[in-house]
Amino acid sequence: MVVIGAGPAGCVMSRRLAESGLDVILLEAGSERAPTRAGVLDIGPGSQVITRHRAVLGSATIGRTEVELPRGRTLGGSGAVNGGYCTPARPSDLVEWGPDWPRRYAVGLARAAERLRPRLVPAGPVAARVAEAFPGRVSAIAQARRDGRRVTAFDAWDPAGAGVRVVTGATVRELRWAGGRTSRRCDGVVLDDDEEISARETILCAGSIGTAAVLLNSGIGPDSGHPVGRSTQEHPEVLLDLPPDWARPASDPNTASASHSAAPPLLSHVVRLALPGPTGVVEIEVRPYSVPMHRVIPGLAPQPHRIGVALMNPVGRGEVGRGEVGGGNLRDGGPRVVLADDPRDTAALDRAAGLVADRLGISGGAGGLRPVPVPSTSQHLSGSARIGEVVDDSGRVLGCEGLRVADASVFPALPRCGPYYSVLAVAEDLAARVISGRSW
């Protein structure tokens, strides 16, 4: 068995397969390890543990044509460089997934929680002040950290400890087909250096961008009847500058820079709002980031302290495709990523940002100017190889033998929360299905 990508899904999948007695190779494109200090987001300009993708956006959303999407290129994947926030999907998030998914998700989540053991952290001054403005709407966010150290999926599932052969610096260029692409029977992979690795079964866990790129490069896409990369989903976000009097005193130990032994939890709590919209309820997440981003991202130029306002049920859809037309991988070409730019989402975010600014008292008072929202994205891209369209309910690519997908690419609909915990839960479920369906 070959598992592509040592991110959250790949670590879960490879560990569970090896525990069942299968011979497993886990291929990871990166060769450097991310910092282990909790709270440090190693996605700055000097990072050696990410792949930088460009995404194209319409001017109505952010007023510029490109935004960067960093993705983990290291053991642990994006879970080694992102916030490590562990929020489970709500049952209503899974309605579009199918009638059996609430139960399957719950079982997978329980297995994931047993391994990762995320923990809550106290609210800091910014979160506490935002909570006061929205009583009864605050939710705590569990963190994948322990004793000042980040806990990644590679740490928690420990594939190597189960006998998995972990190979780093191994970038998969394309899938190998027995008898050529028209045979639709995958029997291995081809690396960037032309090395070929044979496999009885190959499981893609390279993330919504990476998995789509491998599929498209291998002839699996719209031309083969697989809508790979079509109608992807993301949580658009805007950032609001906080006035100087919101910033913490310089003596506050929680403002320690990313160069110190531990960084503060960037996000310990969120505020969830349900606002009326022209076509239904608009669901908003207010993110009281504890410190300016440059405090937790090494090498980032100083920035104002901001809070986030994100749209959690957007109607817009994006795309991941081949080529560099307007986008791609900043390092070596790569896939084209287009994020949604639906005017309904833009209007909803604008209204929500105004409400939040007024409620927090950062709009300048009577007759004052509200802070100008700074467009951003949540880095929650999903759905590039959805269940029911590209793969079946067990992650098998439709019409193909020996090939599965088991990461956020398969999400039929993006939950109204960060996807990290859901990726782990789904990977646990799909791993169990691979094992139970073995015929050898």
Which residues does the annotation place in the binding site? 172
The CA–CA distances, whole Å, from 403 to 217, 371, 398 equal: 14, 49, 9
Binding-site residue positions for FAD? 172
In angstroms, the CA 432 to CA 406 distance is 11
